[in-house]
Chain A
Amino acid sequence: MSFRKLSLGLAAATMLAGTALPAFAQDSIYVPLFTYRTGAFAGSGTYIADGMHDYLQMLNQRDGGIGGVKLVLEECETGYDTKKGVECYESVKGKNPVLVNPWSTGITLPLIPRASVDKIPILSMAYGLSASARGDIFPWIFNPPSTYWDGLSMIIRYIGEKEGGLEKLKGKKIGFIHLDAAFGKEPVPLLQELAKDIGFEVALYPVAAQDMQNQSSQWLSARRDRPDYMVMWGWGSMNGAAVKEAVRSGYPMDKFYSVWWPSEDDARAGGAGAKGFKMLNWHAVGANFPALQDIQKHVVDKGLSKSPKDKVGELLYNRGVYNSLLIAEAIATAQKVTGKKVVTGEDVRRGLENIKLDPARLKELGLEGFTEQLVLSCSDHNGHRPAFMQEWDGAKWVKISDPIEPMTDRVKAQLDAAATDYAEKNAGWPKRTEPCDNAS
């Protein structure tokens, strides 16, 4: 190859590489969004991705960004695959992201030790490692508003109250059907601990990723074991298939509970028989909020969203909105705390520790009544907020309970032990040296 051809080739390659990279001006804030619009989990991931993107895009369109600084949004498709997720992280970390949302417990786990090294906060909203709620041990990891352990304890508390008190669960059997992955196994240690303390029996029904749509064995086993209640920790197409199988196998749907991840589509999959299926939730469903109407006006109507109009306001869409509400609030708070307009990952970590989403602030943001208040601090990166129970009525989710407090008294000791254990097992785990603006 001649020198001329080589030079031309190199020049072309450089130009191509240059055009492939988005331009990040010094006067913008880079927010990567890890999403999965493809693969077996796209049924959950797409709505969340739309909600996340549209709220931040709305801020760009309506307000010119946050504090007058434009947000540069870039999606990285993980396919809910841990390996691809880590590749996404590696590809964005050089572009000064202010935070990363892995949107997978499996992806979150390998990022936990990297966050403090790269100075990039990880926001694993209501998923990830429950123990990372301890801000003194995990200063770079945030998992508000509730951990999986909180979620499980809320379900147990709820069904305990249905039975007439937690002690009435003694001798009962609780089936736990879960994705056989880091996410699905996360609450198992607490479930077993609670079973020991309270005296109920646990039957585990793991569902391998490749069998998410082939669950007849699990539900046959449930028929054999006759659990008094079934609790589900599922994701993607597992949820809809589980609802279908539960209906097929004749399991009483009013005894079937889930953590906060099934969507309307998942419940609809069970047809009329799915009535009575219950799940936890901590935010509103529907688009009747000024902020969501602004999304409709500034993003969806202008063709800047990938979401169909009728999906705006559905459960997982709003879950994505909630996630971006936290991102935006962390950035706005970081701007306030540091006095800077263009903030960095280190600033946003401080912003997250100072988040105070009270009713007044939610009203100001056009989300009055959308969710419970959330206050984070240096030591509490979660908030351990209550959630409520909602029930599928055959057409929509209906809120059926007041906020259910997590069993903090039972969970906290376990969570502290798990956090300490994590630090001990990972030799050289750094002691927190990051400054604290909000110790309370």
Chain B
Amino acid sequence: MDILYKVFVEPFVFMGEAPDLLIQTLWEGLVSGVLYALIALGFVLIFKASGVFNFAQGIMVVFAALILVGLYEKGVPAFLALILAALAMLVLAVVVERVVLRPLVNQPDIILFMATFGLTYLLIGFGELIFGGNPREMITDALLLPQGTTEIDALGGSVRIQHLDVAAAVIASLMIGLLAVFFSKTRIGRALRAVADSHKAALSVGISLNQIWVIVWFAAGLVALVAGIMWGARSGVSFSLQIIALKALPVLILGGFTSIPGAIIGGLIIGVGEKLGEFYWGPLVGGGIETWLAYVIALLFLLYRPQGLFGEKIIERI
């Protein structure tokens, strides 16, 4: 009975007793969730256009952030470095399309997936060769990102809001909004959706697959750059950031691999869910549960919606 009380009653009693901590946990979860959503978005863009699960998305986050910081350390002004880092992601997109995707057209999806594994390790090695393995500090001040904390006394306690987290949430939301508009309202966006529906049909109406792939890989590169800046500003830029990208996996399972709203809602559910779980139920098992809790949350959702929250429902008639 004691364990039932600790699982089903005590956490909720504590939520009521310390509502400031509940708000703080929800806020931390939302901020993490937005950043998870941003990373997941990079996966979704590429998966929608090419059916490829881009395992290299995590290292692209690190790579983009390292280029930005590396250029700044070489004396390039921050915003010029930002533009050059974005251009570097464009170059990467072109190279990936030419060297990896184009020669593998019509190969099974698993071959393309494995190619992105290869790309991951290539980028890790290349990145370590150029930038070394040492962690760096994100150029938060130079990019005019706000710093500092606002402590709000409320609900019998206090809630600490980091200005950087607010900026991260706003910038990530803007980025997501812009991408959503771009892909739903523009000609290229419609072409992308056509490619996502059927490569052959898209080709038959004159859409260039190669061009679309470059565009989506570039868009995913830009998303990676923003994610790299935000995560880097929170906890430093190092190669271990790429592991955080794996947090996007449960987000994708939950939200569906092809849905932009799914990536956003999925990111928020996973972010908030894992923080609440770790904070209120983690102590029951000695803590450290958030690593796997995200997958449990995603799998629980899958029991009811196997295609994910917003994934396409596949109906095959035999």
| Cβ-defined contact, A248 with B162, below 8 A | yes
Q: Which residues of A contact B243 (CB under 8 A)?
A: 40, 209-210, 212
- B243 to chain A minimum Cβ distance, whole angstroms, is 4
| Cβ-defined contact, A248 with B149, below 8 A | yes
| Cβ-defined contact, A216 with B291, below 8 A | no
Bound Cα distance from A180 to B236, whole angstroms: 20
**How many A residues touch the partner, as a band?**
35 or more
Q: Which residues of B contact A40 (CB under 8 A)?
A: 238-240, 243
| Cβ-defined contact, B287 with A221, below 8 A | yes
Identify which of A224, A249, A250 contacts B279 (C-beta below 8 A).
A224
Bound Cα distance from A237 to B236, whole angstroms: 8
Bound Cα distance from A217 to B247, whole angstroms: 15
Main secondary structure of the interface of B (DSSP, over half): helix
Bound Cα distance from A261 to B230, whole angstroms: 27
Bound Cα distance from A42 to B134, whole angstroms: 6
Identify which of B133, B160, B241, B287 contacts A213 (C-beta below 8 A).
B241
A217 and B238 contact, Cβ closer than 8 Å, known pairs A210-B244, A265-B134? no
Q: Which residues of B contact A147 (CB under 8 A)?
A: none
Bound Cα distance from A208 to B295, whole angstroms: 15
**How many B residues touch the partner, as a band?**
35 or more
| Cβ-defined contact, A46 with B132, below 8 A | yes
Name the interface residues of A245-271: CB closer than 8 Å to any CB of B. Answer: 245, 248-250, 265, 268-269, 271
Q: Which residues of A contact B274 (CB under 8 A)?
A: 217
Whether a CB of chain A sits under 8 angstroms from the CB of B50 is no
A213 and B28 contact, Cβ closer than 8 Å, known pairs A43-B134, A221-B278, A240-B135? no
Whether a CB of chain B sits under 8 angstroms from the CB of A236 is yes
Whether a CB of chain B sits under 8 angstroms from the CB of A114 is no
| Cβ-defined contact, A221 with B283, below 8 A | yes
Whether a CB of chain B sits under 8 angstroms from the CB of A45 is yes
Identify which of B124, B147, B291 contacts A208 (C-beta below 8 A).
B291
Interface centre among B133, B147, B275 (most CB of A within 10 A): B133
| Cβ-defined contact, A38 with B275, below 8 A | no
Interface centre among B235, B239, B288 (most CB of A within 10 A): B235
| Cβ-defined contact, B288 with A250, below 8 A | no
Identify which of B132, B236, B247 contacts A240 (C-beta below 8 A).
B236
Name the interface residues of A199-213: CB closer than 8 Å to any CB of B. Answer: 204-213
Q: Which residues of B contact A (CB under 8 A)?
A: 18, 21, 24-25, 28, 31-32, 124, 128, 132-135, 137, 147, 149, 151, 160, 162, 231, 234-236, 238-241, 243-244, 246-247, 274-275, 278-279, 282-283, 286-288, 290-291
